[in-house]
Amino acid sequence: MVLRCIVGTLRAPVTVMVKRDWRGAEHLPAHEGFVVAANHVSHSDPVMLAHFLYDNGVPPRYLAKAAILDLPVAGRLLRATGQIPVYRGTDHASDAYAAAKQAVLDGEGVIFYPEGTITRDPDEWPMSGKTGAARVALDTGCPVIPIAQWGPNMFLEPYTKVPRLFPRQTMVVSAGPPVDLDDLRAREVTAAILATATEHIMDAVTEELAKIRGVPAPESRMSLDDPRVRQRPRPRRQTAPVKEK
């Protein structure tokens, strides 16, 4: 009920402010829990991704920073919709993993941003990822659906607070087929296996983004420990190209 009210409140203004281009909904599992692994290009893209999932019958469940869920009003509403708090660097850090795993086992779709932050890649390609999505997938046997987003970064540029309403931007959200992890599922889950699975996942997300943008992805990804990760992208003023379906 709370989620329905929030969606009803946000749907009209979002529809007015942006255009939507939803792709690949046929890849979303209808009868089992799954993990979504998505790229992160803007503070606005969680809203667009949630919109895409909700429009296709999937109530979105995010792993969100505990600080957001601890906000007096917004946090209470988000908790009421089943969002999962992440307490980084505390004794409760593992609680998010347990909650995400249980949600998948209960048949829900749980959203991970493996990069852990808005991409700092100069050309806004996905960076290397953390292993949480891979761990849940391997521990539960669930599918991982790679989702790429492009357009939210034009609507609300990285690390800015004022959206750009004109020209009206197109939000492209594209789901790809499940990531092939079959060669890893029967093996003991080690750090090396998690790293390999995460690489497969990020490859799939990057491939999906390349389809949207209509340009080849770089041969290598920026690492989370790359010195450039500490640099925030400069705001742009042009509209990024999108390849037509």
CATH of the domain at 213: 3.40.1130.10
Determine, yes or no, domain membership for 8: no
Give 64's DSSP letter. E
Q: What would the pLDDT profile of 84-141 be if each residue is shown by its tens digit? A: 999 877 777 789 999 999 999 999 999 999 999 999 999 999 999 999 999 999 999 9
Determine, yes or no, domain membership for 174: yes
Determine, yes or no, domain membership for 23: no
Q: 163 preceded by cis ω (within 30°)?
A: no
Q: 167 preceded by cis ω (within 30°)?
A: yes
Mean predicted confidence (pLDDT) in 188-200: 98
**How many structural domains are present in the chain?**
1
- The encoded tokens of residue 106 equal 């209960």
Asked if residues 63 and 96 have their Cβ atoms less than 8 Å apart, the reply is yes
| pLDDT of res. 79 | 84
Determine, yes or no, domain membership for 6: no
Q: What would the pLDDT profile of 202-233 be if each residue is shown by its tens digit? A: 999 999 999 999 999 999 999 877 776 656 65
| pLDDT of res. 3 | 67
Q: In which domain, by residue range, is 195 found?
A: 31-227
Residue 2 predicted with pLDDT over 70? no
- The C-alpha atoms of residue 199 and residue 116 are separated, in whole angstroms, by 15
What percentage of the chain has pLDDT greater than the value 90? Answer: 72
Determine, yes or no, domain membership for 130: yes
Q: Largest Cα–Cα distance of the chain, in whole Å?
A: 51
Determine, yes or no, domain membership for 13: no
